[in-house]
Amino acid sequence: MSSPMTYPVSYDQEGKPIHDSKFRVRRVMNWFTMGATYASMYMGRYNLSIVNHKLSTEFGWNKVMVGTIITSSLAIYAFSALFNGMIADRIGGRRSMLIGAFGAVIFNFLFGLGAYLDNTPSRSHLLLSYFSIIWSCNMYFQSYSAVALIKVNSGWFHVKERGVFSAIFGTMLQSGRALIFLIGGWLVAHYAWQWVFFVPSVLIFVLGILTYLLVYDSPDQVGLPPLDVEDATSSHTGLMPFRLVLKQVFMNPVTLLIAFAEFCTGFIRHGFEQWFPRYMLEAQHLELNSPIFQKGAFLIVMTGVMGAMVAGLMSDKVFNSRRPPVAFCGYAMQIVALTIVWKAPGIYWIIGAFIMNSLAISMVHSMLSGTASMDFGGKKAAATAAGLFDGMQYLGGAVVGVGMGFLLETFGWKVWGPSMLLFSGIGALTMLYLWNAKPKKIQPSSSN
């Protein structure tokens, strides 16, 4: 009996697969729904930064105490992403996204309900513990979303398509961050801070239902022929042995170096994103609903969108589907931007530096966590690789909760920019070392 037909059935002159219209339509339905769901979960993740300053004024907490919420939650994300990646490689990305989405709905809602609890000074530390635990639970479920997205996409996108399509996904994900920055300040000013958590809960719930109805892990689950993605593990059929999944991710020097670089990315990304609204309030005296802040925040997020697009096009069109050269460019841009923030020559210079930094962070993040995890993990171990990369990034982010809070409380905002510079430099050097790294396909015989 002949083997079933597999996609792709033909290639163009650049070696990229040519898909038929039925496949393309079904794939759009799949990735658009997943991307929209993850974008809504971004709203339920970055909403905390909108109320960073508000939590201090409402409950009398200093920056270190607010940083406790950030550190505990990002540390939980970091460690759970690794294990949830392994789970996603076993149960599939669709199920993992559903677990993550409905968990995020519950704990965003519970965080908002904290506004109605007893906030007398004698119960302040008890309330801080409540917020830390609830937000840590939210971030546990959030950690399913990234590995789920990578897992599903690894089964639908050929290795030569992943740079550009990761750029498209990066655009969608950043739209969630853009939306919460745009409406968050307005919600706080016109209603109350807890609505910054209630609104994302509703959106995540609706899109979670759509994910249940429309998303599938691979083409063959919807009656289409399987897709040969030609990545590191595509030669394996069926469920890849767990020991090989671990070997593919944890005994590969390239994946370990990328994970190390992602720790640096996490320090920069969360050092910037968790604290910049508060910086604008305290250092630049701009209210979150002021026109300058709103326009600046919108441009910061839109350039994050652009960064994903630029990175994907550069990777596939300029660097022959290599990811480290693009990440190097992103780290180099971060160094320039953070130096400007350090010197702080004026508000418009600072906003320009924020915009450049957002572009650069997005370039690095989309190439390493978003694309390299699919390449070097392969479709059979993509979620495990994504869990390692994303987990290391959030471990770096965990440091900037209490750590950055302590620095800012002790030395003020003048140390904010330079505290992140070293990590950009280390990341850039790591990407220089990995400049020519590309995935190597492992043979099925190695599983014997």
Cα four-point dihedral sign 11, 16, 21, 23 = positive
Q: Which residues contact 129 (CB under 8 A, 6 or more apart)?
A: none
DSSP string spanning 281-318? HHTS---TTSHHHHHHHHHHHHHHHHHHHHHHHIIIII
Question: Is residue 269 over pLDDT 70?
Answer: yes
Check residue 442 and report its DSSP letter.
P
Q: What is the DSSP letter of 160?
A: T
Average pLDDT over residues 264-276: 86
Integer Cα distance of 92 and 68 in angstroms:
33
Find out whether 14 and 317 touch, Cβ atoms under 8 Å. no
Please provide the average confidence, as pLDDT, over all residues in the chain: 81
| pLDDT, tens digit, 9 for 90 and up, residues 291-337 | 777 777 778 777 877 887 788 778 777 887 788 898 999 999 999 99
CA distance 188 to 195: 7
Q: pLDDT tens across 119-134, in order?
A: 777 778 889 999 999 9
Identify the band that residue 446 occupies on the pLDDT scale cut at 50, 70 and 90: very low
Give tens-digit pLDDT for 232-256.
555 555 555 555 555 656 667 888 8
For 362-417, the pLDDT digits (tens) are 888 878 776 666 666 665 566 677 777 778 888 888 888 888 888 888 898 889 98
Cis ω for the linkage preceding 444 (within 30 of 0): no
- Identify whether the C-beta of residue 217 lies closer than 8 Å to the C-beta of residue 96: no
Q: For residue 351, what are its two tokens?
A: 């906003």
Structural domains in the chain plus CATH codes: 22-221+229-436 (1.20.1250.20)
Q: Is 90 exceeded by the pLDDT of residue 109?
A: yes
